[in-house]
């Protein structure tokens, strides 16, 4: 084995390893390694039946009700295909409002998501209050906002 | 016989002759794993949740502790200098050296881990995924650890330093490894996490031997 | 040799760099001061409130430039490490060593301001999502670089060893940057898509001014720190004794 031949083999092996690595990375990103799942993914059975997990979605319009005299709030999270009812007791973040992207942590108990933590996701958009109304009604624009908020292109 | 096979066998043989030192990581591994049920709570529910994390952190520490002195003796006896000066590939030598270390030190950890699973009340159905993950992870950790050992080979007291250098680089392995086992225990799809482990595995195996060789040369050039 | 490459060859010589860096550093410091003052005034007073976050978004004017610099400085470090290892340029090692503590400081500021921003807006100081975790790892990598660089009796060995670490650690940079696209993170996506931005112009310009200001601030400090790194490395040379003695 000459030295040059040896070097050539070495470089080829390195390239082979790197391309295998890239291949596996691409396959991994087709899967669902996520910080949270969406209501649709929940309905497709991507969540543990009993364990805790995180659910991300938009707070549905007209769904927020507070139980008087307590810190308990009920609302539904939606991704405009499926909705999940959520109940939470505690302090909500400043950005919690209708039409806002929210990540809740907790578990499903008989069809209702019992949240132990509510986190507000804010978009990458910044603008003065006059230009943009917080809740534009057309569904399409909301879908776009949701896609942006929930991180587009990560779904399988 | 092919000289490279001969080299590999002699490396394994050398580590095996000092098997009392080679087996220290294994003893460390078992003892640390037994501390968690004692320190936290032996309730199966809690143990089940922390088991993958405990096993993975434990494997990582055991591997790094064993690796810290990987090149020390070769460096002090001048063998390393011979390797660098020899016309045959330093990268390949480094590769075989790390693999022989892995065979003697990490393989026993993987073999031992099913027992720890029972201790930590981890569901046995996740065992397969855990073992695959541990295989990919320990090889990757061994190469990273060897890099740390090579960077600090000329330092006398390097244990803590190696840990500071390597732990950040090793965290992705820890995250995806423990994550895959937890997903498997939850009856979810662990494959994406395993694919990412495989990504790290091939990146490390492909590129880190080169980095280790450069690091070893650095300790000789003045 | 062209004028341009001649310029770079002369720049790479430590005594020449030592001379040149003084006026440049001074200029950078003034530019940085002006830009940061203008950016702060624009960001804290002139920019309107955000439609969602009210005045709370203003922490962006420190958070975003620091986070951006935390990545940029590591790239500078990795590039100098590469130059040092391949072309054996001593100046490159000095730049890398001078950059590391600055990069660590920018990372720390990004993490702390991010935490303070996260509490009111997200509802938590910290989550272990991909963006925050990879940024934390970046901070640890800076610490590792600094420690390794100073661990050897022979500074040159330390430089080379730390350079290898910087090159290996550079894999974290794309992970930090693309984490918000690759994973569904709590951290929002990037506000910049190519040359367009999702930030209203009245809020954007102070941010751009701040970012440029931070670049010059880093430029100033790195020149200044590189000068002392050079003196440390060349302490037995004639020219050093001349410079220090005078």
Q: What is the ipTM of this complex?
A: 0.76
Q: Of A119-128, C118-127, C218-227, which range is least confident?
A: A119-128
B154, B164, B168 ranked by CB distance to C137: nearest: B168
Beta strands A65-66 and A72-78: pairing type?
antiparallel
Burial of B164 (0-12, 13-18, 19+ CB in 10 A): middle
Buried b (16+ CB within 10 A) or exposed e, B115-130: ebbebbbbeeebbebb
Please give the full DSSP string across A2-49, using - where no structure is assigned. -HHHHHHHHHHHHHHHHHHHHHHHHHHHHS---SSB-HHHHHTT-S-S
Distance linking the first and last C-alpha atoms of chain C: 34
Residues of A in contact with C122 (CB under 8 A): 93, 95, 119-122
pTM of the model: 0.79
Structure tokens given for B82? 């011979």
More confident residue, C164 or A153: C164
Please identify among residues 175-214 of chain B the ones whose CB lies closer than 8 Å to any CB of chain C: 175, 203, 208, 211, 214
Taking the Cβ of residue B5 and every Cβ of chain C, the question of whether any pair is shorter than 8 Å is answered with no
The pLDDT value recorded for residue A30 is 59
**In CATH, what is the architecture of A39-149?**
Beta Barrel (2.40)
The stretch A37-51 carries a mean pLDDT of 73
Mean pLDDT, range C197-214, rounded to an integer = 89
> Inter-chain contact C122–A95, Cβ cutoff 8 Å?
yes
Of A33, A93, A129, the CB nearest to C51: A129
Per the CB < 8 A criterion, the answer to whether A119 and C123 are in contact is yes
Asked whether residue C77 carries a pLDDT value surpassing 60, the answer given is: yes
- Shortest CA distance from C181: residue in chain A: A151
How far away is chain A from the Cα of C156, in angstroms, using its nearest Cα?
28
Asked whether C182 and C80 are in contact (CB, 8 A), the reply is no
Q: Which residue of B has its CA nearest to A15?
A: B206
* Cα(C223)–Cα(C154) distance, integer angstroms: 23
pLDDT the model gives residue C238: 83
Q: How many angstroms separate the CA atoms of B168 and B149, rounded?
A: 15
Regions of chain B short of the pLDDT cut 70? 1, 221-222
Could you give the CA distance from residue C68 to residue C74 in angstroms, rounded to a whole number? Answer: 10
- Per cent of chain A over pLDDT 70 is 71
Q: What is the DSSP letter of C52?
A: T
Question: Which among C107, C168, C176 is the top mutation candidate for probing chain B, defined by the most B β-carbons within 10 Å of its own β-carbon?
Answer: C168
Chain-centroid distance, C-alpha A41:
10
CA separation (Å) from B132 to B25, B114, B173, B201? 20, 12, 13, 12
Residue C193 has pLDDT above 80, yes or no: no
C118/A93 Cα distance (integer angstroms): 10
How far away is chain B from the Cα of C157, in angstroms, using its nearest Cα? 6
Contact B189 A31 (CB under 8 A): yes
Chains that touch C (3 or more CB pairs under 8 A): A, B
Taking the C-alpha atoms of residue A2 and residue B73, their distance in angstroms, rounded to an integer, is 30
Query: What is the pLDDT at residue B123?
Result: 85
CA distance B112 to chain C (A): 30
Count how many Cα atoms sit within 13 Å of the Cα of residue A91 in the half-sphere of its side chain: 8
Strands A112-121 and A101-109, by their bridges, are antiparallel
Cβ pair C161:B215 closer than 8 A: yes
CA distances from A128 to A133, B17, C33, C66, C195 (A): 10, 73, 28, 24, 21
Q: Coil, strand, or helix at residue A58?
A: strand
Residue B19 C-alpha, separation from nearest chain C C-alpha, in angstroms: 31
Lowest mean pLDDT among B166-170, C89-93, C128-132: C128-132
Is the sign of the CA dihedral C221, C154, B165, C81 positive or negative?
Answer: positive
B203 touches A: beta carbon within 8 Å: yes
Neighbours of B20 (CB within 10 A): 8
pLDDT band at A130 (very low <50, low <70, confident <90, very high): low
Check pLDDT > 70 for residue A85: yes
How far is it, in rounded angstroms, from Cα C9 to Cα B125?
63
Rounded Cα distance, B153 and B76, in Å: 9
Q: What is the longest distance spanned by two Cα atoms in chain A?
A: 84
pLDDT tens, C13-29?
888 888 888 899 999 99
Query: Is A153 in the C-facing interface, judged by CB distances under 8 Å?
Result: yes
Of the candidates A105, A71, A68, A100, the residue with the CA atom closest to the CA atom of residue A86 = A105
Residue A146, chain C, CB below 8 Å: the answer is no
Contacts of A27 in chain B (CB under 8 A): 192, 195
Q: Residue C119, Cα to own-chain centre: how many angstroms?
A: 26
Q: Is A134 helix (H, G, I), strand (E, B) or coil?
A: coil
Beta pairing, strands A112-121 & C196-197 = unpaired
pLDDT of residue A151: 47
Selecting from A3, A31, A46 the residue whose C-beta is nearest the C-beta of B191 gives A31
Across the interface, do B192 and A20 touch by the CB < 8 Å criterion? no
Residue A108 scores a pLDDT above 70: yes
| Separation of alpha carbons C95 and C15, rounded Å | 14
Q: Which segment, A69-78, A100-109, B72-81, B135-144, is predicted with the most confidence on average?
A: B135-144
Average pLDDT, chain C: 88
pLDDT the model gives residue A78: 86
Distance, CA of C174 to CA of C178 (rounded, Å): 6
CA distance B25 to B33: 12
Q: Which of A29, A37, A93 sits opposite C123 (nearest CB)?
A: A93
Neighbours of C57 (CB within 10 A): 21
How many interface pairs between A and C have CB atoms less than 8 angstroms apart?
Answer: 110
pLDDT in tens, C146-172: 999 988 888 888 899 999 999 989 988
Contact C51 A132 (CB under 8 A): yes
Q: Label residue C218 by pLDDT band (50, 70, 90).
A: very high
Q: What is the pLDDT of residue A16?
A: 87
pLDDT of A140 higher than 60: no
Amino acid A47: pLDDT: 65
CA distance C16 to chain B (A): 24
pLDDT at B182: 85
Say if CB C29 and CB C223 are below 8 A apart: no
* Cα of B188 to nearest chain A Cα, Å: 7
Q: Do A121 and C181 touch (CB under 8 A)?
A: no
Supply the pLDDT for residue C124: 83
Tens of pLDDT, residues C172-181: 888 888 887 7
Report the length, in residues, of chain A.
156
Instruction: Give the confidence band of A43 by pLDDT, cuts at 50, 70, 90.
Output: confident
Please give the structure tokens belonging to residue C48. Answer: 């309107």
Domain boundaries, chain A: 1-30, 39-149
What is the average pLDDT value for chain A, to the nearest integer? Answer: 73
Distances (CA, A) of A2 to A7, A8, C230: 9, 10, 43
């Amino acid at each position: 084995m000459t030295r040059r031949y040896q070097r050539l083999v070495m470089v080829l092996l390195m390239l082979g390893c790197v391309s295998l690595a890239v291949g596996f990375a691409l396959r991994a990103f087709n899967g669902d390694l996520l910080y949270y799942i969406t209501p649709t993914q929940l309905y497709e059975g991507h969540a543990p039946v009993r364990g805790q997990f995180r659910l991300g979605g938009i707070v549905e319009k007209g769904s927020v009700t507070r139980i008087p005299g307590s810190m308990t709030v009920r609302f539904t999270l939606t991704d405009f295909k499926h909705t999940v009812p959520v109940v939470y007791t505690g302090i909500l973040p400043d950005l919690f409002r209708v039409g806002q992207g929210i990540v809740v942590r907790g578990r499903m108990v008989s069809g209702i998501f019992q949240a132990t933590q509510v986190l507000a996701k804010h978009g990458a958009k910044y603008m003065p209050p006059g230009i943009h109304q917080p809740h534009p009604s057309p569904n399409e624009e909301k879908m776009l906002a949701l896609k942006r908020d929930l991180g587009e292109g990560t779904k399988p | 016989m092919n000289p490279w096979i001969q080299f590999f066998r002699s490396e394994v043989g050398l580590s095996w002759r000092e098997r009392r030192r080679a087996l220290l990581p294994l003893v460390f591994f078992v003892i640390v794993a037994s501390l968690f049920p004692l320190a936290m709570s032996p309730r199966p529910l809690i143990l089940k949740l922390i088991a993958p994390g405990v096993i993975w952190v434990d494997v990582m520490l055991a591997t790094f502790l064993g690796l810290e002195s990987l090149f020390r003796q070769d460096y002090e006896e001048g063998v390393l200098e011979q390797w660098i000066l020899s016309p045959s590939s330093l990268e390949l030598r480094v590769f075989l050296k790390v693999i022989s270390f892995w065979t003697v030190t990490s393989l026993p950890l993987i073999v031992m881990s099913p027992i720890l699973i029972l201790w930590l009340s981890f569901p046995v159905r996740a065992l397969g995924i855990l073992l695959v993950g541990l295989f990919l992870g320990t090889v990757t950790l061994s190469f990273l650890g060897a890099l740390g050992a090579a960077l600090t080979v000329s330092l006398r007291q390097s244990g803590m330093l190696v840990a500071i250098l390597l732990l950040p680089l090793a965290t992705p392995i820890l995250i995806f490894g423990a994550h895959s086992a937890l997903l498997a225990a939850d009856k979810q799809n662990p494959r994406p996490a395993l694919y990412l482990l495989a990504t790290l595995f091939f990146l490390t195996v492909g590129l880190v031997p080169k980095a280790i060789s450069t690091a070893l040369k650095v300790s000789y050039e003045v | 040799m062209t004028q341009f490459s001649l310029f770079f060859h002369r720049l790479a010589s430590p005594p020449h760099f030592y001379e040149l860096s003084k006026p440049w550093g001074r200029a950078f410091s003034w530019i940085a001061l002006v830009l940061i003052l203008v950016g702060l005034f624009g960001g804290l007073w002139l920019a309107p409130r955000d439609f969602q976050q009210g005045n709370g978004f203003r922490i962006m004017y420190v958070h975003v430039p620091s986070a951006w610099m935390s990545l940029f400085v590591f790239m500078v470090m990795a590039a100098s490490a590469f130059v040092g290892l391949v072309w054996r340029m001593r100046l490159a090692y000095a730049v890398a060593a001078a950059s590391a503590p600055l990069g660590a400081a920018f990372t720390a500021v990004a993490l702390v301001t991010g935490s303070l921003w996260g509490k009111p807006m997200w509802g938590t100081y910290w989550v272990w999502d991909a963006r925050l975790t990879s940024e934390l790892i970046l901070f640890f990598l800076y610490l590792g670089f600094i420690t390794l660089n100073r661990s050897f009796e022979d500074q040159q060995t330390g430089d080379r060893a730390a350079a290898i670490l910087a090159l290996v650690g550079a894999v974290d940079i794309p992970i930090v940057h693309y984490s918000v696209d690759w994973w569904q993170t709590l951290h929002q996506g990037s506000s910049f898509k190519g040359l367009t931005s999702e930030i209203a112009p009245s809020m954007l310009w102070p941010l751009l001014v701040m970012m440029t200001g931070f670049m010059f601030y880093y430029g100033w400090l790195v020149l200044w720190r590189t000068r002392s790194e050079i003196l440390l490395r060349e302490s037995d040379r004639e020219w050093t004794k001349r410079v220090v003695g005078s």
